[in-house]
Amino acid sequence: MRNNIDIEMDLFYTMLRIRKVEEAIADRYKEQKMRTPVHLSIGQESVAAVVGRQLYHEDYCVSTHRAHAHYLAKGGSLQAMISEIYGKVTGCCRGRGGSMHLIDTAVGFMGSTAIVGNTIPIGVGLGLSLKLAGHGKVSCIFLGDGAVEEGVFYESLNIAVLKKLPVLFVCENNRYSVYSPFSKRQPAERKIYEIAKAMGATIYHGDGYDVLASHDVARCAIASIREGGGPCFLEFETYRWREHCGPNYDNDLGYRTENEFLSWKARDPLEVFRVYLVGKCRVSKQVIKKMEEDVDQEIEVAFELAETAPFPKPIEAVTGEYKSTEANLNCSTYKGELTT
């Protein structure tokens, strides 16, 4: 297995980087400079890391309101993401999207949006484009367990299966839609992956906290899609550690127990993997320490750039409705004084 060490180090690095980015956002959130809702991925880094490891920049990816991990794992620019959360002109949406709307077309991350299930058919459409082009590429759709309750999920999965599109559905089941547990939203014994199976997708179901097993699943699924095997649906059990939206912990609200949280935290894939790398794989602690320092440094720079970058000019709020200057001029009803 020694020749896998590069992959394993890579998975660890991706998880570590996401964790540190999210913690940095949480730590600085109280400064009131990131004036936008954030849905942090802390606790859910592993699924993004294993799937991202198997995707190329030429593959497409779309995601949800909780997109930081997916964006970073797909190769999205950290600086552009942090700047976006700060609402700066250097942000990935020039300050028009915020944390829930991330995009980096250079690496095939085609957009995340805030409405549950909204990007699912869009990911299927990207898959349609790949099938028409016929190059063995994949369109990856990240969704949560809540999205399975949206009608568009069924419509989209049906189309992907019907047309045998190269689409990977990755369902991160973190058990809660905001504060509503799965048990209040679906009948007892309901399994999401069984729904997908009944609809004709190739399915896998697993523990998202088992990094190596999840990585194997992602590798097999994506390889099968590239070979024309049609859509795969992966459901990973995972857990969000912080509050639904914001930087804090929210177990005090009573919608879930502290014990449930602690049982997941005790299996923290990042720490388990660190022990695995240092112990079983004999990676030196110095190597890991250096990796941590590099990530800290990169994050520091990203925040520094975000803080010092200018806001977009106010006129940008009321321009750019359409892709075409002429149409914008004809259509604008703005009568204010924003001229620069």
Partner 1 sequence: MMQNMTYGAAINTAMHMAMELDPNVLCFGLGVDDPKHIFGTTAGLQEKFGEQRVFDMPTSENAITGVGIGASLAGYRPVMTHQRLDFFLLAMDQLVNAAAKWYYMFGGQVSVPIVIRLIIGRGWGQGPTHSQNLQAWFSHIPGLKVVMPASPADAKGLLLESIFDDNPVLFLEHRWLHDSEGLVPSGDYRVPIGKARIVREGEDITLVSMSYMTIEAIRAASYLEKQGISCEIIDLRTVKPIDWNAIFASVHKTKKLIVLDTGVTTGSIAGEIIARICMECFSILTRPPVRIALPDNPEPMSFGLTKHYYPSNESIVRGITSMLSVDHDLSVTVESPVLHDVPGDWFKGPF
Q: Which residues are near partner 1 by CB under 8 A?
A: 60, 62, 91-97, 101, 103, 105, 110-111, 113-115, 117-130, 132-133, 139, 151-152, 155-156, 158-159, 162, 320-324, 327, 330-331
What are the tokens at 95? 């300050």
Residue 96: CB minimum distance to partner 1, A: 5
Residue 112 or 173: the one with the smaller Cβ distance to partner 1 is 112
Question: Phi-psi bin for 329: left (phi > 0), alpha (psi -120 to 50), beta?
Answer: alpha
E strand or H helix that includes residue 124? helix 120-133
Closer CB to partner 1, 50 or 103, in the complex:
103
Q: Which residues contact 10 (CB under 8 A, 6 or more apart)?
A: 53
In the complex with partner 1, which residue's Cβ is closer, 93 or 213?
93
> Shortest approach of partner 1 to residue 94 CB, angstroms?
4
- Find all residues with CB under 8 Å of 136, minimum gap 6, and list them: 166, 226, 227, 228
CB of 248 to partner 1, least distance (A): 27
Query: Least distance from C-beta 118 to partner 1, angstroms?
Result: 6
- SS3 of residue 295 by DSSP: helix
Cβ proximity to partner 1: between 167 and 217 the closer is: 167
Looking at the Cβ atoms of 308 and 324, the one nearer to partner 1 is: 324
Nearest approach, Cβ of 26 to partner 1 (angstroms)?
A: 25
Contacts of 201 (CB under 8 A, 6+ apart): 157, 160, 161, 169, 230, 231, 232, 233
**Closer residue to partner 1 in complex, CB, 52/125:** 125
Q: What are phi and psi of 104, to 5 degrees?
A: -155, 90
In angstroms, give the least distance from the CB of 253 to partner 1.
Answer: 28
Beta bridge partner(s), residue 82: none
Amino acid, single-letter form, for residue 268:
D
Work out how close the CB of 107 gets to partner 1 at its nearest, in angstroms, rounded to a whole number: 13
Is the distance from CB of 199 to CB of 157 less than 8 angstroms? yes
Q: Which is nearer to partner 1, 103 or 218 (CB)?
A: 103
CA distances from 245 to 29, 168, 321 (A): 12, 26, 29
